[in-house]
Amino acid sequence: MTDQPATAQDRPRVVLGVSGGIAAYKSCELLRRLTESGHDVTVVPTAAALEFVGAPTWAALSGKPVSSEVWSQVHEVPHVRIGQTADLVVVAPATADVLAKAAHGLADDLLTNTLLTARCPVVFAPAMHTEMWEHPATQANVETLRSRGAIVIEPAVGRLTGKDTGKGRLPEPSEIFDHCVRVLAGAGELPDLYGRHVLVTAGGTREYLDPVRFLGNRSSGLQGYALAREAAACGAKVTLVAANVSLADPAGVDVIRVETTRELYDAVVERVGGVDAVVMAAAPADFRPTSVSESKIKKVDDGSAPSVELVQNPDILATISRDRAREGQVIVGFAAETGDAEHSVLDLARTKLARKGCDLLVVNDVSGGAVFGSPDNEAVILHSDGASRQVPRGSKDALARVIWEEVARRFDG
């Protein structure tokens, strides 16, 4: 028996809304990724979007006729049916104009009518100049949409139209695609993080010996980035503090870059008062050199090596757990442990949980270098009340979703 090809009815139905911004050309790549991965995509551009990318392009890439008007194929009632039958609506790019219309329930074209009739998850990927994004009217519209359950992912920082640079750039199509796949995969099952602001740390800090050398660790940042992506897909506003990570910025996430443990400490402490949850997935160095050479330390002919005096770094997890910035805040730590002759990994982790004072501790057995740089992970999540949850080996995205499930349960009491 051979597998039958999926019919259009079997495939997830995605509406790709495209509004009139220069970033509309990037949505061609998003459309290609959606169709090639088996999604049934209907493109609904605004009239302004067709000034940037013509209807024949959208029709050729989607395999479907394209219209921006409610008056085409009226007998099929497209202004109602398209939204009613969708499994996901994603608007990329979403201009300030479309965000305003969606927030206020205006419906003067096929896209805005579709947004009013959709009862599936709706994702907006804004793209506009920094001043437009930061304007109080746009921010109010974004908050209104988020309060109704829409996912408005944060724009990226980078080159805009002309010579301008700043926040407002459309995230890369690959990141938007991954975001949409997560939302579709978890529709109806995502942890509820709507209206929450979460802070995630990722990567490994560096403590410099001289301008060339540093003390560091093997953390890749993959787990922290997975946590940030999943939180954004669950509707949260996400701040990601990344220490020496060379991964693409997750769509919809504000990224703060740091190098040293002290910089990580300052970034977290500065922002912890404004968030509902902190997940400390980064691996900060426990120690740093007492002094840093201004020039490269040279080898000497007699074969001797310089001695390095170390001092302890501030304990970020213990500090924010002890000095809670707000009531009801959930703090999650990570423990990369190896057992010893007298203690198991979990013995050491339970001691660490008590010492740090956080609410949850995600425990990884890293014996033999496991976990670092791998797309997969397995863990035990320890609770401060003594409960635990075993998470079997799977993708780091899957572990991230379980962690947010446990955080959401804490929010619910």
Domain boundary residue, one of 185, 215, 231: 185
Is 364 annotated in the active site?
Answer: no
348 is a domain residue: yes
Query: Is 42 in the same domain as 75?
Result: yes
CATH number of the domain encompassing residue 112:
3.40.50.1950
Query: Is 109 in the same domain as 232?
Result: no
Catalytic residue from among 217, 244, 364, 377:
217
Query: Is 95 in the same domain as 213?
Result: no
Q: Given this model, what pLDDT does residue 68 score?
A: 63
Q: Given this model, what pLDDT does residue 365 score?
A: 84
Residue type at position 334: F
Complete DSSP assignment for 270-312: HHGGG-SEEEE-SB--SEEES---SSPPPP-TT-------EEE
Q: How many CB atoms lie within 10 A of CB 118?
A: 20
> How many domains does one find in the chain?
2
Query: Is 124 in the same domain as 256?
Result: no
Query: Is 204 in the same domain as 312?
Result: yes
Residue type at position 240: L
Query: Is 211 in the same domain as 180?
Result: no
Query: Is 390 in the same domain as 248?
Result: yes
Which SS3 state, helix, strand or coil, does residue 44 take?
Answer: strand
How far apart (Å, rounded) are the C-alpha atoms in residues 157 and 170? Answer: 9
Q: Given this model, what pLDDT does residue 178 score?
A: 86
Query: Is 156 in the same domain as 205?
Result: no
18 is a domain residue: yes
- Spell out, as residue ranges, where the chain has pLDDT lower than 70: 1-9, 68-79, 186-190, 368-373
Domain that holds residue 246: 197-411
Q: Given this model, what pLDDT does residue 338 score?
A: 79
Q: CB of 221 within 8 A of CB of 205?
A: no
In DSSP terms, 380 is beta-bridged to: 363, 390
Domain boundary residue, one of 158, 185, 212: 185
Query: Is 382 in the same domain as 297?
Result: yes
Domain boundary residue, one of 154, 185, 216: 185
192 is a domain residue: no
Which SS3 state, helix, strand or coil, does residue 169 take?
Answer: strand
